[in-house]
Structure 1
Amino acid sequence: MSETVQTTGRSSPQPLPSHGVSLGEALRVWLRVAALSFGGPAGQIAVMHRILVEEKRWISESRFLHALNYCMLLPGPEAQQLATYVGWLMHRTRGGLMAGGLFILPGIIAIMTLSWIYALYGKVGFVAALFFGLKAAVLAIVLEAVVRIGKRALKNRVLIGIAAAAFVAIFFLDAPFPLIILAAGLIGFLGGRANRAEFQLGGHGSQSEAEGDNLLGENLPDHARPYTGRSLRIAAVWLTLWLMPVATLLLLLGGTDVFSQIAIFFSKMAMVTFGGAYAVLAYVAQQAVETYGWLQPGEMLDGLGMAETTPGPLIMVLQFVGFMAAFRDAGALHPLLAGTLGGLLATWVTFAPCFLWIFLGAPYIEVLRGNRSLSSALTAITAAVVGVILNLAIWFGIHTIFRDVRPIEWGILNFDAPVWGSVNLWALLLSAAAIVAMFRLHVGMLPTLAATSAAGIALYAAGAIA
């Protein structure tokens, strides 16, 4: 494709990239993607696929899936990282920053606004009732994610077995999530090397379209080629941007200050939580509730309900966690100011590494397109993630439907069991109604959330819940 030029006022003509899409046009498209980024990672990826692959034909199906599989392997939100990856492929670093930044901007604004409302009025009866209803729908949404991703990922008994083993390991044995992911990746890698058909599901790196049937083409752009010097510069810049605030807080405030704890905890999450939003939330929920005591289990569900009803990645719930942690331990600061700073700090140390993973790793991943062993490893990891999401669904279900749980520690077993006499009848009925609505009646996520929230308020008005 020949290069074209555009002029703006008195500025000198600026050459367009070889694919012919200007940065201004890309800005409008990424704004549209951001505005439609509801429904969790699966919905967000579907929106990007429809716009970028089918409608705009910027990128081929095979290249889109290759990028997606890499992003699923990374710690953090795969949908935001996928947007960053495609933006980087199209318009270098500026494009990646624009696509990835716009993807999270609406969520930052929305979650911060809702966090203020929650902090100020969360214990007010009708607000608590609103979130009581939200929890029921959130449980149905997480269960629906298990089924949706499971249907796509678990195509044979081997992959079903990997998912089941991952669930048992994380739910009953309290196994570290990174260890589960590494084990699944190794199994898939070895299966690929052995040319096992169970790990070759099709579409992973295969050419499903004719060459050149997209604006980007199948050639490797110069900026997507790995160069050692460039990689070292990228690593230095993004590690500084990510870790300098953490080091500064530790030096100025010490390790016991809540801001230092937020910076360290979410920086750790950025490195060790893999498998996308639901897998991250399973780990963060347990740590934030049980280890740090920043939130109660019900409040974590409230935050997830916020993230489900706003645009952007579900992982934006971490901003709510950081907000509430600092709000309740504000020190000399005004609680709302402390909460705002805590939320923004959690957001920064969560998403800064996402840009590092893409800008540093994507050039090396681009040259591996079509690699059978890598594709098989990613297939096995996706199967393990299904088991982890099931763990999250059961954990949320226990804490939504039952008022009390008790820890079980017996030999290698270590998990929370519900106290059956503490069942919350209204929570059970609302959760069942939400599940029927989404699974049997095929009601959408937002109408279900709206209906259960309205039901919560109606129950409060009728005096059925406190």
Structure 2
Amino acid sequence: MSTAAPEPAAARRHGVSLGEATSAWLRIALLSFGGPAGQISVMHRIVVDEKRWVSEERFLHALNYCMLLPGPEAQQLATYLGWLMHGTRGGLIAGGLFILPGALAIMALSIVYVSFGQLGFVAALFFGLKAAVLAIVLQAVARVGGRALKTSAMRVLAALALLAIMVFDVPFPLIVLGAGLIGWIGSRTGWMPARGAPGVGGDGDGLVTAASSSAGQALRVAAVWLVLWLAPVAALLIVLGPDNVFSQLAVFFSKMALVTFGGAYAVLAYVAQLAVDHYGWLRPGEMLDGLGMAETTPGPLIMVLQFVGYVAAYRAPGALPPVAAGVLGGLLTTWVTFAPCFLWIFLGAPYVERLRGNTALSAALAAVTAAVVGVMLNLALWFAVHTLFREVRTLPVAGLTLDVPVLSSLNVWAALLTAAAIVAVFRFKAGTAVVLLGCAGAGLGLHALGLV
């Protein structure tokens, strides 16, 4: 008897082979720069606009569910969509490939960073890529916002979410829950009608339509993935003891996998504080260097945790060679961070699919999408401030705190390169790869001229 997630009931009428889908997922993975906003934008453009494998409503329904989960929503969305098309195998391929390029890139950069120190050409490469990433994030906000904010109520929700997270520092989970509650109440009272939610089994697109999931199947899925996730943690604790660096990494980042709502930025400050002050894994400022690696390499931003795992194990290798210990530490951290993501999707997706025809839920999730647009805009503004200005100050504003750039610290070359990337993306509709390669080359060129 299978212990995997229930397979889609449709007989693959969409006509897309697993090989063709795998090629597309690899392409998405290689182009997934710029954090969740940029990654979701790339996924949407390829899967919805270009390939037309998944409808707009279906994509947003899956996205809304992933936004409610702990962990990287873009990677979970890829897993969900892969599962929709080709069942458990499709989910494993889509979700696994989404992680792979970033994991390889971060591992290579971690080795270079720790072994050889910061290299000028690497910093210049990141400098150029950040301009491209900012343009891609802005494009994502425009695309998702254009589709999600079609009514005044949705636009107001997005604005409230932006103010809540930017000015009042409201935790992301509270914003999501609040928006969902508003949408649900709005659907019940009639002032926020749900968008046309397709009925279960009525799409005819060959994707999963009426996933059957019994309690027994759900228990088997949970058992398999809990063992895969937690068995290595238990083994390390038993064999090495709780004070060993590998045990500490396994336990600490398993806990983080349960509380990383709102993406990487929501948890990185906490991780950095403990990694530096409590465990002594990193030196002050090194987390920002790791974040710079994650921001300018494909894959989820939370991949920066692999950098933390590498550095921690490299500096406390025990009997292992430092580089070998670092690689194992990085891989262990990646495993306990992402294994739960597959659990959430394979366990919950069948039930979420069965609820697509529920109008109250549809309205609640539509409201969540609107709020997420506001959160995405906050990320774009945060990223713009830290990309374009060398200094940012936290100022008290009416009893609150707000990050404000020091205008005199404007990086002119960053501003010019960002403007060029924005023009390329919005005016000339340049592809993501073209923009990234162009900005990376410009960054290296500016470094060669001694300008950055």
1:49 matched residue in structure 2: 48
1:282 matched residue in structure 2: 265
Give, as a single letter, the amino acid of the residue that structure 2 aligns with 1:348. Answer: W
CA distance in 2, matches of 1:180, 1:357: 21
1:422 matched residue in structure 2: 409
2:11 matched residue in structure 1: 19
Alignment pair present for 1:368 and 2:355 = yes
Q: Which residues in structure 2 correspond to 1:212-291 (within 5 Å)?
A: 213-216=204-207, 218=209, 220=210, 224-249=211-236, 259=246, 262-264=249-251, 266-274=253-261, 279-289=262-272
Secondary structure of the corresponding residue to residue 366 of structure 1: helix
User: What is the CA RMSD across the aligned residues, in angstroms?
Assistant: 3.6
Tell me the number of residue pairs that the alignment of Structure 1 and Structure 2 aligns.
428
- Give how far 1:150 is off: 1.5
Q: Out of 171, 194, 209, which is 1:200 matched to?
A: 194
- Give how far 1:154 is off: 1.5
The 8 Å contact of residues 323 and 338 in structure 1, kept in 2 or not, is answered as: no
Alignment pair present for 1:401 and 2:388 = yes
Alignment pair present for 1:177 and 2:169 = no
Q: Which residues in structure 2 correspond to 1:47-446 (within 5 Å)?
A: 47-49=46-48, 53-54=52-53, 66-89=61-84, 92-120=87-115, 123-197=118-192, 199-202=193-196, 204-205=197-198, 211=202, 213-216=204-207, 218=209, 220=210, 224-249=211-236, 259=246, 262-264=249-251, 266-274=253-261, 279-289=262-272, 292-293=275-276, 294=282, 295-297=286-288, 299-307=290-298, 313-315=299-301, 317-318=303-304, 320-323=306-309, 325-326=311-312, 329-332=315-318, 333-409=320-396, 413-446=400-433
Q: Compared with structure 1, are the counterparts of its residues 32 and 124 closer, same or farther at alpha carbon in structure 2 (3 Å cutoff)?
A: same
The 8 Å contact of residues 245 and 313 in structure 2, kept in 1 or not, is answered as: no
The 8 Å contact of residues 177 and 273 in structure 1, kept in 2 or not, is answered as: no
Deviations 1:181-227 (A, max 9, x none): 11111111211222334x5233x4358xx957434574x3xxx3232
Give, as a single letter, the amino acid of the residue that structure 1 aligns with 2:194. Answer: Q
Secondary structure of the corresponding residue to residue 414 of structure 1: strand
CA distance in 2, matches of 1:133, 1:140: 12
1:449 matched residue in structure 2: 436
CA distance in 1, matches of 2:97, 2:257: 20
Q: Compared with structure 1, are the counterparts of its residues 51 and 283 closer, same or farther at alpha carbon in structure 2 (3 Å cutoff)?
A: same
The 8 Å contact of residues 41 and 314 in structure 1, kept in 2 or not, is answered as: no
The 8 Å contact of residues 103 and 306 in structure 2, kept in 1 or not, is answered as: no
CA distance in 2, matches of 1:88, 1:66: 14
Deviations 1:344-390 (A, max 9, x none): 22321232112111221122223212101111111111111112222
Secondary structure of the corresponding residue to residue 230 of structure 1: helix
CA distance in 2, matches of 1:122, 1:443: 34
Matched residues, percent identical?
Answer: 51
Q: Flag structure 1 segments of 5+ consecutive residues without an equivalent.
A: 1-15, 308-312
The 8 Å contact of residues 238 and 353 in structure 1, kept in 2 or not, is answered as: yes
Give, as a single letter, the amino acid of the residue that structure 2 aligns with 1:35. Answer: L
CA distance in 1, matches of 2:396, 2:315: 32
Instruction: Give the TM-score taking structure 1 as reference length.
Output: 0.78
Q: Compared with structure 1, are the counterparts of its residues 358 and 148 closer, same or farther at alpha carbon in structure 2 (3 Å cutoff)?
A: same
List, as ranges, runs of 4+ consecutive aligned residues in structure 1 with deviation greater than 6 Å: 251-257
CA distance in 2, matches of 1:315, 1:183: 25
CA distance in 2, matches of 1:125, 1:361: 46
Instruction: Give the TM-score taking structure 2 as reference length.
Output: 0.80
Give, as a single letter, the amino acid of the residue that structure 2 aligns with 1:201. Answer: R
Q: Compared with structure 1, are the counterparts of its residues 381 and 212 closer, same or farther at alpha carbon in structure 2 (3 Å cutoff)?
A: closer
Secondary structure of the corresponding residue to residue 306 of structure 1: coil
